[in-house]
Amino acid sequence: MELRLSCGDSVAIEIRRRKGARHLRLRLGHQNQVVASVPWRCSDREVLQFVEKQRHWLDAQLAKVPQTRSIAAWLAEFPQVSASGDRFHVRVERTERLRADYTFENGGADLVFRLPDPSDGGSLMRVVRCFAKDALPCRVAYQARRLGLKIPVVSVRDQSSRWGSCSSRGSLSLNWRLILLRPELQDYVVLHELAHLTEMNHSKRFWALLDQYDPQRVAHEAALDEVSATIMRVGRG
């Protein structure tokens, strides 16, 4: 289902039916799609009518949000990733190998993604996520050891809107896009989830603990809020 915008472009409409919901609500997803949360028995026709009534609001919101970007386009403009508390310069090069991989060069300062076909965006995405799956659990382990915590199980995924989460069993799930953040913001997210190993909610005790883990957490939260909308749209183009 799509909506034709005033500019002539089309935007996808994603319908999410909720049991117990009484009202229709709209928001923009991180793929710049219209997300309509509606009552369970709401028809597609009713959704379209509601969306049409909100056309001017949607036009205004879509004009303000960042565009979705492929990982290739992002790295071409911002050729850096974070890991191990450091920032690495990124290059994408052709390789004669059959599979894409990555290596470090220039004394470890450069991270090189090597692809059989550098124009293959899908292969680049896979090797970037492979790097994230290697790098992020290592950073979690480092921070856990520093804080005297048990090292949790870590999975790295492609979450739609969250930077990370902590399960009731004490395992962490992190968004691969964390490697695109500055090191101190990446660490803030890691420390936030590690604090949940002790405090599973966002109580005063949780924030007090996180303040101990990250004395700059207020500044880091503000900085993360500024870049989240942009970076969450990377890899969706």
Q: Specify the pLDDT at position 237.
A: 67
Q: Specify the pLDDT at position 66.
A: 87
Residue 121 lies in a domain: yes
* Of 17, 37, 64, the domain-final residue: 64
* Of 40, 64, 88, the domain-final residue: 64
| 102 shares a domain with 55 | no
| 140 shares a domain with 97 | yes
Residue 236 lies in a domain: no
Cβ atoms of 46 and 23 closer than 8 Å: no
Q: How far apart are CA 122 and CA 128, in angstroms?
A: 10
| 89 shares a domain with 199 | yes
Residue 196 lies in a domain: yes
Q: Specify the pLDDT at position 30.
A: 79
Residue 237 lies in a domain: no
| 81 shares a domain with 159 | yes
Counts for the chain of helices (H) and strands (E), in that order: 7, 11
Instruction: Locate 200 and state its tokens.
Output: 């599973």
Cβ atoms of 103 and 97 closer than 8 Å: no
DSSP codes, 3-58? EE-TTS-EEEEEEEEETT--S-EEEE-TTSPEEEEEETT--HHHHHHHHHHTHHHH
Q: What total of structural domains would you count in the chain?
A: 2
| 45 shares a domain with 78 | no
Residue 122 lies in a domain: yes
Q: Any idea which residue has 């207020």 for tokens?
A: 218
Provide the residue range defining the domain that includes 205.
Answer: 71-231
Q: Specify the pLDDT at position 57.
A: 87
| 41 shares a domain with 139 | no
| 165 shares a domain with 121 | yes
| 157 shares a domain with 55 | no
CA torsion, ordered 60, 62, 63, 69, to nearest 10 deg? 170
| 167 shares a domain with 52 | no
| 95 shares a domain with 26 | no
* Of 33, 48, 64, the domain-final residue: 64
* CATH code: domain of residue 220: 3.30.2010.10
Residue 133 lies in a domain: yes
Q: Specify the pLDDT at position 3.
A: 76
| 172 shares a domain with 60 | no
pLDDT block averages, 10 residues each, the chain of length 237: 73 88 88 89 92 88 87 97 98 94 96 96 96 98 97 95 93 98 98 97 96 98 94 89
**Cβ–Cβ contacts within 10 Å for residue 170, how many?**
14
CA torsion, ordered 59, 61, 63, 64, to nearest 10 deg? 170
Residue 47 lies in a domain: yes
Cβ atoms of 119 and 108 closer than 8 Å: no
| 207 shares a domain with 185 | yes
Residue 171 lies in a domain: yes
